[in-house]
Amino acid sequence: MADLSQQDWTVKLNNDDNALILDVRTPEEFEAGYIPEAININIYEGQGFLDAVNKLDKSKNYYVYCRSGNRSRQACALMNNLGFDQAYNLEGGILDWKGKIIQ
């Protein structure tokens, strides 16, 4: 797991052909606005979150975010424990997502 600033996260994401964006907020938070192309898996679902994440392709590089960076940091650590080698946490979460389109 790596904590990346918005700039580093964005640059790395934009240069990664094997990237997947993961939003770990609640469905309600996701519906209120999200980073384009993100998929939503709610970390608060506990075992459901682990089950859903375990179905993801471990060969992908995951760019993970939440509201402020705390849940996504936890999600990255859980993903690392499940065998995901490349999980990048967006420091500051979507609150610090400046100058980007949020749908």
Catalytic residue among 1, 24, 66, 87: 66
> Looking at residue 94, what DSSP letter applies?
G
Catalytic, 66? Answer yes
CA-based nearest residue to 6, from 103, 99, 102: 99
Structure token pair of residue 59: 């060969």
61-65: strand order across its sheet: 2-4, 87-90, 61-65, 19-23, 39-40
Please count the helices (runs of H) and the strands (runs of E) in the chain: 4, 5
Q: Which residues are catalytic?
A: 66
